[in-house]
Amino acid sequence: MDRLDLHLHTTYSDGSQPPAEVLAMAHKVHVSALAITDHDTVDGLPEAITAGTDLGIEVIPGVEISSRLADTELHVLGYFLDWKDPVLLSRLASLRASRHRRNPRIVEKLNELGLGITYEEVKALAGTDSVGRPHIARVLMEKGYVKSAKEAFDRYLAQGARAYVPRELPDPPEAIAWIREARGIPVLAHPVWLKASAAGLQGLCATLQGHGLRGVEVHYSTHNPQQTSEYLNIARQLDLLITGGSDYHGITKPGIEVGVGRGGLKVPSALLEPLRKAAATQ
């Protein structure tokens, strides 16, 4: 019973496991093709492709770019992009640089709250240039300031929490354009995060479609069956591509596993060919 997983993070961004381990886990649950969608980087792809060749798993080049929509974040996934494109690479580098401007300010706020961590420690734990709040959460866990990543986000790191600092982000049309200009397929990630009504979400998708959006992540670890069918409806009404994935991060999102999410995720293999065709013909 083959399945896909088109949303996976590795140690090249804020996932806790390296690409080869993610691929090995995918192999165990019969994933036939997957996409590595690290935040603001494609640097994990060579390792993933090598592991995929060994295991007989197709690795689709991907990325996840956060954008700013009013006072919330909207994440855009990009698939089948030309991941060696120099313009894309310099745009991703600029996004990573914005992380390095924000993160020390978060650490400063944590210090003011009496939590003794340094940005050097965060960068050392991250071991990558795409440093995110989950890395800060892990340092807080390791130092015993919190028991879980959830506690770190709830108390300190989530939007509105005491050590929150926003990051400079592109707007959604810009994020979409960056993916399109690298000949990739832009897809709205985890629509559940937007907390929009069905009508509101459909309107937003239609607007973003006007800016080049091509798909919606209908299947997702934390979508319930009703949400999944609502998002499926929207995708069908607007003739958007349907994708899905676990958003596996390892230890910062406990209980979410590669390929199966919380256990009930099943991304049908049949979704891959329309995506591939769209990428080949755009």
Cβ-based nearer residue to Fe ion, 65 or 234: 65
Q: What's the one-letter identity of residue 188?
A: L
Cβ-based nearer residue to Fe ion, 65 or 235: 65
**Beta strands 58-69; 267-268: pairing state:** unpaired
Task: Please count the residues of this chain forming the interface with ligand AMP, following the rule CB under 6 A.
Answer: 14
Residues 32-71 that bind Fe ion (CB under 5 A): 64
Interface with ligand AMP includes 12 (CB under 6 A)?
no
CB of 253 to Zn ion, least distance (A): 8
Cβ-based nearer residue to ligand AMP, 133 or 219: 133
Q: What's the one-letter identity of residue 221?
A: S
Q: What's the one-letter identity of residue 257?
A: E
CB of 14 to Zn ion, least distance (A): 4
Cβ proximity of 163 and 139 under 8 Å: no
**What do you get for the CA distance between the two ends of the chain, in Å?**
31
Binding marks (x or -) toward ligand AMP, 162..181, rule CB under 6 A?
-----x--------------
Comparing CA positions, the residue from 9, 53, 58 lying closest to residue 33 is: 58
Alpha helices, H only, the chain: 19-28, 45-55, 86-112, 119-126, 133-142, 149-152, 172-181, 198-210, 225-238, 272-281
CB of 166 to ligand AMP, least distance (A): 9
Partner that binds at residue 241, options Zn ion, Fe ion, ligand AMP, none, CB closer than 5 to 8 Å by kind:
none
CB of 143 to Fe ion, least distance (A): 25
Residue of this chain nearest to ligand AMP (CB atom):
132
Q: Residue 270 has what DSSP assignment?
A: G
Cβ proximity of 92 and 63 under 8 Å: yes
Cβ-based nearer residue to ligand AMP, 47 or 64: 64
Which of 134, 186, 215, 245 is in the footprint of ligand AMP by CB under 6 A?
Answer: 134
Cβ-based nearer residue to Fe ion, 145 or 220: 220
Could you tell me how far CA 47 lies from the centroid of its own chain? 18
Strand partners, 268: 3
Cβ proximity of 176 and 184 under 8 Å: no
Q: Give one DSSP letter per residue of 171-210, joined into a string.
A: -HHHHHHHHHHTT-EEEE--GGGG---HHHHHHHHHHHHH
Cβ proximity of 198 and 216 under 8 Å: no
Residue pointed to by tokens 């580098």: 93
Interface with ligand AMP includes 214 (CB under 6 A)?
no
Strand partners, 61: 36
User: Which range binds ligand AMP by CB under 6 A, 128-136, 194-202, 203-211, 220-228?
Assistant: 128-136
Residues 252-281 that bind ligand AMP (CB under 6 A): 252-253
Residues 43-72 that bind ligand AMP (CB under 6 A): 66
Interface with Fe ion includes 247 (CB under 5 A)?
yes
Residues forming contacts to ligand AMP in the complex (CB under 6 A) are 14, 39, 66, 132-134, 149-150, 153, 158, 167, 249, 252-253
Residues forming contacts to Fe ion in the complex (CB under 5 A) are 64, 75, 189, 247
